[in-house]
């Protein structure tokens, strides 16, 4: 992906990544994103669920949502971040995080086409819990009409990645202070059944698979 002036990583540019494979992989793994946009009262950033389908990023929400109403045909930036580790250096100055992040710039459009809406609903569901689309009830006509879907083409975007150990100054290397990385992983706990779940309903495949392989998402 060809970087633009605003998608080019300025701070520590060696961490910038512009290949589509890296950008897509981070968007696919991150469970939430933050959507930044302007309102009459000033800038706002809201966390929300997203999904990538091909080269399009989908967002969804109520028609009454401030984010959905304020971002129609208006420039936004969408950020997704995955934290992979805490970097503990010998000096406080060099403490950091190992992370993978993506920023997407674009102007959302409202998704009206029924086939695209169905694909977007499925993509959002499968992004959070792969396999769930075929296990649960599909959106009703009322639910479909009550949900706004926005699409942003992933054409102006960049990733930023930090990996590896602390970058301590040479003068601190013999200080006797511990330095290293504390890995961070997303690990799912045991599923908790709904209190009104009928007796004998088995844990579905999507939940079992997520529980066993969360760290590999």
CATH number of the domain that 149 lies in?
2.30.110.10
Residue 32: which of 79, 98, 77 has the closest Cα? Answer: 79
**Pair 54, 79 in one domain:** yes
In a domain, 4, yes or no: no
The token pair that represents 106 in the structure block: 């674009």
**Pair 44, 98 in one domain:** yes
CA distances from 179 to 98, 161, 165 (A): 14, 20, 8
> Structurally, how many domains does the chain consist of?
2
- What CA–CA distance (Å, rounded) separates 2 from 160? 15
59 CB contacts (<8 Å, ≥6 apart)?
A: 35, 48, 49, 50, 67, 68, 71, 78, 108, 149, 150, 152
pLDDT of residue 142: 94
In the chain, alpha helices (H): 20-29, 66-71, 114-128, 141-145, 205-213
In a domain, 198, yes or no: yes
**Pair 70, 95 in one domain:** yes
pLDDT of residue 34: 97
In a domain, 1, yes or no: no
Neighbours of 148 (CB within 10 A): 20
Number of residues that this document lists for the chain: 217
- Is residue 37 within 8 A of residue 71, CB to CB? The reply is yes
The per-residue pLDDT string of the chain (217 residues; one tens digit each, 9 = 90 and over) reads: 899 999 999 999 999 999 999 999 999 999 999 999 998 889 999 999 999 999 999 999 998 888 888 888 899 999 999 999 999 999 999 999 999 999 999 999 999 999 999 999 999 999 999 999 999 999 999 999 999 999 999 999 999 999 999 999 999 999 999 999 999 998 888 999 999 999 999 999 999 888 655 544 4
**Pair 163, 109 in one domain:** yes
Torsion over CA: 82, 84, 89, 92 (sign) = positive
**Pair 115, 198 in one domain:** no
pLDDT of residue 215: 43
**Pair 190, 125 in one domain:** no
- What CA–CA distance (Å, rounded) separates 112 from 147? 11
Give the domain extent around 42.
13-169+179-184
What predicted TM-score, i.e. pTM, was given to this entire model? 0.91
**Pair 148, 65 in one domain:** yes
pLDDT of residue 72: 86
């Amino acid at each position: 992906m060809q970087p633009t002036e605003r998608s080019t990583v300025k701070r520590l540019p060696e961490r910038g990544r512009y290949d589509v494979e890296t950008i897509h992989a981070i968007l696919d793994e991150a469970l939430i994103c933050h959507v930044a946009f302007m309102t009459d009262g000033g800038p706002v950033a809201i966390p929300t669920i997203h999904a990538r389908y091909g080269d399009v990023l989908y967002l969804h929400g109520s028609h009454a949502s401030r984010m959905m109403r304020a971002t129609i045909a208006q420039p936004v930036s969408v950020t997704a971040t995955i934290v992979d580790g805490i970097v503990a250096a010998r000096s406080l100055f060099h403490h950091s995080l190992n992370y993978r992040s993506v920023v997407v710039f674009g102007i959302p459009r409202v998704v009206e086409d029924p086939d695209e809406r169905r694909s977007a609903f499925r993509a959002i569901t499968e992004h959070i819990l792969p396999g769930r689309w075929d296990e649960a009830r599909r959106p009703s006509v009322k639910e479909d009409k009550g949900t706004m879907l926005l699409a942003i083409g992933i054409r102006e975007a960049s990733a930023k990645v930090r990996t590896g150990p602390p970058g301590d100054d040479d003068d601190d290397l013999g200080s006797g202070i511990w330095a290293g990385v504390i890995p961070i992983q997303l690990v799912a706990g045991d599923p908790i059944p709904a209190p009104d779940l009928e007796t004998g309903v088995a844990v579905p495949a999507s939940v079992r698979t997520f529980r066993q392989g969360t760290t590999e998402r």
